[in-house]
Amino acid sequence: MSAKHINLIFPQWQGGGQDLSTYYGAKEFHELYLNDSIVTEIEVSTDRIVDTINDIFGYKYIADQMIEVHNVLREETPDTIFTIGGGCDANIPAVSYLNHKLKGDMTVLWFDSHGDLNTPQSSISKYFYGMPLRTLLGDGDDKIIDELPSTLIPSQVIMMGAHDLDPEEQLYINNHSIPVISIADMEQNSEEVLNVIRSKGSKNLYIHIDLDVLDSDQFPYVPVPMKNGLNLATLQKLLGVMDTNFNIIGLDLMEYNSTGKKRYELFEEICRIGTSL
């Protein structure tokens, strides 16, 4: 039986506050890069957020929308998933689903300038886009975690380019010995990057890409642009190397803001890899 694949558009924006930019960014990305692909799009509310519940801003929208994605994945039963968000938290259902399907036999590469490792209690902003990785690791809101098909363990995770970390996030990384591959490491030595990934012992990769990992001088179209980030060409090269050396079973692209419909070769390549998983 051939593998089943799904291209998922999930423009959940509420994790970033009142800013709808990632909602409209996901819509533009779909139009620019995936117009000829079959996609499953999740309907997302654009109502103004008024409540913080359980220490999460926009909690009801986020919890309800993620349940909708869980239901879609249970019904579709894909073997591979390419997800376009939305904020970083839009990848939670896909990561959890694939981890369950593979019984934990996958390594998660988290390309992101930020840690996404806050809990609702440790977060100052109460914005859920700063909590997705910690949620996937089983720490966070009980209702959201109870809906997950599975949770990760820290030894499955490699942080790629994280350099703007809150004290709680740095403490978690230190306490759980999570590898952090720096921007300089990725720019200078792709073979060493591969060695770190190989040391995890799984051929299966889930790759999360928050576009704020990119240097803002080259790509400023994100909610939180970051200086001294990764070169676009380096990310494209690394993805090609990973596609050659590992089995990518999940890929996501998050935090895209409108570029005024300017196209990038990097995103063409990401979509080529993502749609052909």
| pLDDT (tens digit per residue) in 160-191 | 999 999 999 999 999 999 999 999 999 998 89
Q: What's the farthest any 2 CA atoms get from each other in the chain?
A: 48
> Residues of 37-65 as b/e, b for ≥16 C-beta within 10 angstroms?
eeebebebeeeebeeeeebbbbbebbbeb
Calculate mean pLDDT across residues 11-39: 97
pLDDT given for residue 1 in this prediction: 56
Calculate mean pLDDT across residues 185-204: 95
- Give the global pTM: 0.97
Cα 87 → chain centroid: 8
What value does the mean pLDDT of the chain take?
96
* Banded model confidence at residue 3, pLDDT cuts 50, 70, 90: confident
* Banded model confidence at residue 45, pLDDT cuts 50, 70, 90: very high
Strand partners, 85: 10
Calculate mean pLDDT across residues 46-63: 96
Percent of the chain at pLDDT > 90 equals 98
Give 5-275's CATH code, choosing from 3.50.50.60, 3.40.800.10, 1.10.357.10, 3.90.209.20. Answer: 3.40.800.10
Cα 148 → chain centroid: 16
pLDDT given for residue 229 in this prediction: 96
Q: How far apart are CA 229 and CA 31, in angstroms?
A: 27
What is the crossing angle of helices 59-76 and 92-101, to 10°?
40
* Banded model confidence at residue 143, pLDDT cuts 50, 70, 90: very high
205 has pLDDT over 90: yes
Cα distances from 165 to residues 109, 168, 262, in angstroms, run 17, 8, 30
Calculate mean pLDDT across residues 45-49: 96
Calculate mean pLDDT across residues 238-265: 96
Calculate mean pLDDT across residues 218-228: 95
